[in-house]
């Protein structure tokens, strides 16, 4: 958490005082330094959740089910932040809040809605191996949308949503890339800190429930 806060402070300071304004978009481009790292962190959370789901299906250890659930929960939170910051950026850059013609936007929305529905599935099934199995399989299906989202913009010539990272490397100045890296590290550290805290809380909650059952008259 300390690392996350330190990196977050550094990221905000770099965006505010260090990185120059973009020649084309001006000040509004500064949304990029939080919007893209948040989106990449959401992908990382969904990927981590799918990996834990795979481990659950392989080893049948309930701790992997809980870890998968917490990662997907954080992925949805970061996904919601991606959508809202993206919409604000779209409004100032394109003049609209949303562009249905952009494949990347639509695919990210589909990914977000898919993982939002994960909770409906999870909480509609009684606690136990059946719920863990269904949740794990669902989490694994969703992760397929991540590479599709990355590839769609490149394969479909999406001219609306910009592509900054190409096969030739990042299409930005060194100072901009350095700021981006610090912002991404800050977001990953924040997600990791939240993951640890939420997981500890959930484990403590489960142990207390067990203790309550043992102490019940």
Task: Please identify, using beta-carbon distances, which residue of 3 and 155 lies nearer to other proteins.
Answer: 3
23 binds other proteins per the rule CB under 8 A? no
Which region, judged by CB under 8 A, interacts with other proteins, from 40-48, 55-63, 94-102, 193-201?
193-201
215 binds other proteins per the rule CB under 8 A? yes
Q: How many residues bind other proteins (CB under 8 A)?
A: 29
156 binds other proteins per the rule CB under 8 A? no
Among 9, 20, 26, 147, binds other proteins (CB under 8 A): 26
Q: Which residues contact 25 (CB under 8 A, 6 or more apart)?
A: 93
Q: Phi first, then psi: what are they for 169, rounded to 5°?
A: 105, -175
Q: Phi first, then psi: what are they for 20, rounded to 5°?
A: -75, 160
190 binds other proteins per the rule CB under 8 A? yes
Task: Please identify, using beta-carbon distances, which residue of 144 and 204 lies nearer to other proteins.
Answer: 204
Closest alpha carbon to 90 in 145, 35, 42, 41: 35
Here the tokens at position 14 are: 């770099």
Here the tokens at position 166 are: 């190409």
> Chain centroid to CA 72: how far?
8
- Tokens 């991404």 sit on residue: 184
Task: Please identify, using beta-carbon distances, which residue of 55 and 80 lies nearer to other proteins.
Answer: 80
- Range 27-56, binding other proteins (CB under 8 A): 27-28, 30-31, 34-35, 38
Task: Please identify, using beta-carbon distances, which residue of 12 and 54 lies nearer to other proteins.
Answer: 12
Nearest-angstrom CA–CA distance, 170 and 163: 9
Give the nearest distance from C-beta 184 to other proteins in angstroms. 14
- Range 70-89, binding other proteins (CB under 8 A): 77, 80-81, 84-85, 88-89
Helix (H, G, I), strand (E, B) or coil at 20: coil
**Ramachandran region of residue 199, left (φ > 0), alpha (ψ -120 to 50) or beta?**
alpha
Q: Phi first, then psi: what are they for 54, rounded to 5°?
A: -65, -40
**Residues near other proteins (CB under 8 A):** 12, 26-28, 30-31, 34-35, 38, 77, 80-81, 84-85, 88-89, 91-92, 190, 194, 197-198, 201, 204-205, 208, 211-212, 215
């Amino acid at each position: 958490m300390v690392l996350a806060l330190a990196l977050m402070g550094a990221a905000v300071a770099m965006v505010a005082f260090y990185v120059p304004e973009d020649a084309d978009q001006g000040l509004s481009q500064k949304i990029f330094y939080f919007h893209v790292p948040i989106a990449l962190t959401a992908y990382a959370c969904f990927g981590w959740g799918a990996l834990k789901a795979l481990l659950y299906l392989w080893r049948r250890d309930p701790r992997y089910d809980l870890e998968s659930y917490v990662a997907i929960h954080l992925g949805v939170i970061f996904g919601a932040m991606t959508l809202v910051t993206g919409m604000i950026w779209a409004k100032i850059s394109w003049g609209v809040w949303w562009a249905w013609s952009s494949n990347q936007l639509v695919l990210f929305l589909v990914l977000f809605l898919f993982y939002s529905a994960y909770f409906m599935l999870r909480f509609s099934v009684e606690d136990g191996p059946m719920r863990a199995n269904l949740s794990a399989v669902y989490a694994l299906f969703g992760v397929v949308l991540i590479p599709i989202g990355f590839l769609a913009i490149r394969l479909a010539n999406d001219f609306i949503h910009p592509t900054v990272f190409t096969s030739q490397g990042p299409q930005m100045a060194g100072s901009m890339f350095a700021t981006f890296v610090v912002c991404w590290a800050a977001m990953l550290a924040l997600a990791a800190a939240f993951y640890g805290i939420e997981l500890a809380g959930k484990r403590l909650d489960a142990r207390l429930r067990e203790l309550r059952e043992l102490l019940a008259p």
